[in-house]
């Protein structure tokens, strides 16, 4: 087996790795501090498209995690980058929050419900039947169907909430059209993120708490992968998958010395 190259850049998921239900996970502050002191390129990733990077920076700062805006990469940014490459200056009907609409405005997209090039579905806590009906009709009329991420549920203090993937399934059932998912586990999100910080997959590592998104995306992008057990996945769960992380550790605290 070829010897792995030293890790020169890091990508890490946010929920379940650095924070959990609004509080930092022990070791997260030390890990971010070590990254910043090292000068190594890094990104904090999230499949959640609700918030802009500035929103997330402020939320993390309130928890004592000092992450610059340019080191935050969301599925909304990955979706916008994809659409900008595919159809610059296009139009879209968007179901989502400020994180997604701001990302699309920033690439020069016009948001409209009149013959849009795309229907773009993102995360929101207020999915409306009216908006979903409009999306179905626009897709049936020829709009291409894009989703920020395939997560079927999201966390909340009361328990799981229906998320983008679940709503996408409803629209697919009504239209017969499958969406293109830009976020994890699509390696596109990882590769565009790596490009944004000038990093190479061979010398990069991905840290996550989910086998089906974080580890899979890192693996398919050609990175080393670290699974932490502070989120949704247990060590026993890893045996259910046909692929494995490079290493499984209890938490982010166990990776500080690797930076």
What positions carry a catalytic annotation? 13, 15
How far the first Cα of the chain sits from its last, in Å, is 23
Q: Residue 11 corresponds to which tokens in the numbers above?
A: 């990508």
The C-alpha atoms of residue 60 and residue 170 are separated, in whole angstroms, by 33
Best CA proximity match to 226, nearest among 249, 204, 199, 243: 249
Q: 245: buried, middle or exposed (CB in 10 Å: 19+, 13-18, 0-12)?
A: buried
- Mapping DSSP onto H, E and C, the string for 19-62 reads EECCEECCCHHHHHHHHHHHCCCEEEEECCCCCCHHHHHHHHHH
CA-based diameter of the chain, in Å? 55
Q: What Å distances lie between residue 22 and 29, 32, 94, 233, CA to CA?
A: 14, 17, 27, 19
């Amino acid at each position: 087996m070829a010897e792995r190259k030293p890790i020169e850049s890091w990508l890490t998921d946010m929920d379940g790795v650095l924070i959990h239900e609004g509080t930092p996970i022990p070791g997260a502050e030390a890990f971010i501090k070590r990254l910043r002191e090292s000068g190594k390129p890094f990104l904090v990733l999230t499949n959640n498209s609700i918030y802009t990077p500035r929103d997330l920076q402020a939320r993390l700062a309130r928890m004592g995690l000092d992450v610059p805006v340019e080191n935050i990469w969301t599925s909304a940014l990955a979706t916008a980058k994809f659409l900008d490459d595919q159809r610059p200056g296009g139009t879209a009907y968007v179901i989502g929050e400020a994180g997604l609409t701001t990302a699309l405005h920033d690439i020069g997209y016009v948001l409209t419900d009149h013959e849009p090039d795309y229907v773009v579905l993102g995360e929101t806590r207020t999915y409306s039947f009216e908006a979903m009906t409009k999306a179905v009709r626009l897709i049936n009329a020829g709009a291409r169907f894009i989703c920020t991420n395939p997560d079927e549920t999201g966390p909340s203090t009361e328990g799981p909430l229906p998320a983008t993937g679940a709503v996408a399934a409803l629209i697919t059932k009504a239209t017969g059209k499958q969406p293109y998912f830009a976020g994890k586990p699509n390696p596109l999100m990882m590769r565009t993120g790596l490009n944004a910080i000038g990093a190479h997959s061979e010398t990069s590592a991905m840290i996550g708490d989910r086998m089906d998104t974080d580890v899979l995306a890192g693996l398919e992008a050609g990175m080393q992968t670290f699974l932490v057990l502070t989120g949704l996945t247990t060590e026993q769960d890893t045996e259910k998958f046909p692929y494995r992380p490079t290493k499984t550790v209890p938490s982010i605290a166990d990776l500080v010395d690797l930076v």
